[in-house]
């Protein structure tokens, strides 16, 4: 059980039987009266953002969340299929639940799926993934300006900017949190 003094950004709590994550938090102590905790909360099932104010001493249930290791199998129209690596059960997430993670999903990639009870509600990718460059403009040596980058397309269809020496067929590491190029993979 959490109290209002435990509230902080990123904390996951249960309100009215649904999981919420605190995305913004502000503490204020007026001259008279109790301290107030203003929170911006995001419903983890629907994505709806609400503003709530709590007083000191209010209590909250921790959200009943569980992360399970899963392996990405395939996508079909607006559904993404994952397999539990221990039980081999298959779970489907829709495109809204997957969100921008679709840009980095490759066959057999191990991810963490977030469950609320028995219902899958979200996905956590590894911090870095290695993807093959499928389309890149050619680059001539000496044809650069300091800090120059060029757009490339990787095997998932995601487009990002990379240094000019990256060519088609190269494997690159991408930070899934920012979507940015990290390094070229040496094979």
Give the tens place of pLDDT for each residue, 68-117. 999 999 999 889 999 999 999 999 998 888 989 999 999 999 999 999 98
Please state which of the ranges 12-21, 23-32, 107-116 shows the lowest mean pLDDT: 23-32
Q: What is the chain's mean pLDDT, rounded?
A: 90
Mean pLDDT of 7-11: 90
User: Which pLDDT belongs to residue 57?
Assistant: 87
CA–CA separation, 76 vs 80, rounded Å? 6
Provide the CATH topology of domain 2-62: SH3 type barrels. (2.30.30)
* Each residue's pLDDT tens digit, 44-74: 888 899 999 998 889 999 988 999 999 999 9
146 contacts: CB under 8 Å, gap ≥ 6: none
Give me the sheet containing 49-55, strands edge to edge.
Answer: 2-3, 59-62, 12-15, 18-28, 36-43, 49-55
pLDDT of the residue at 141: 66
Do residues 155 and 131 make contact, with C-beta atoms less than 8 angstroms apart?
A: yes
Over its C-alpha atoms, the chain yields an Rg (Å, rounded) of 21
Q: Taking residues 25-36, what's their average pLDDT?
A: 86
* Predicted confidence (pLDDT) at residue 146 exceeds the cutoff of 80: no
The segment(s) of the chain belonging to CATH 2.40.50.140 are 65-124, 128-184
Predicted model pTM: 0.76
Model pLDDT, residue 140: 67
As assigned by CATH, the class of the 65-124 domain is mainly beta
Domain with CATH 2.30.30.30 in the chain: 2-62
One of 3.30.390.10, 3.40.50.300, 3.40.50.10800, 2.40.50.140 is the CATH number of 128-184, namely: 2.40.50.140
């Amino acid at each position: 059980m959490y109290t209002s003094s435990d509230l902080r950004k990123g904390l996951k709590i249960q309100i009215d039987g649904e999981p919420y994550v605190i995305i913004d938090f502000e503490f204020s102590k007026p001259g008279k009266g109790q301290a107030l905790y203003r929170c911006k909360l995001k419903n983890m099932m629907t994505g709806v953002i609400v503003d709530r104010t709590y007083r000191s001493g209010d209590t909250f249930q921790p959200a009943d969340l569980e992360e399970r290791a899963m392996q990405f199998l395939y996508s079909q129209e607006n559904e993404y299929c994952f397999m539990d690596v221990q039980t081999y059960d298959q779970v489907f997430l829709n495109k809204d639940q997957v969100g921008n993670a679709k840009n980095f999903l490759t066959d057999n990639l191990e991810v963490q799926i977030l469950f609320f009870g028995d219902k899958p509600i979200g996905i956590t990718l590894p911090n870095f993934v290695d993807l093959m460059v499928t389309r890149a403009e050619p680059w001539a040596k000496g044809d650069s300006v300091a800090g120059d980058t060029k757009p490339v397309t990787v095997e998932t269809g995601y487009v990002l900017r990379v240094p000019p020496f990256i060519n088609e067929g190269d494997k690159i590491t991408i930070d899934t949190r920012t979507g940015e190029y990290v390094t070229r993979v040496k094979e």
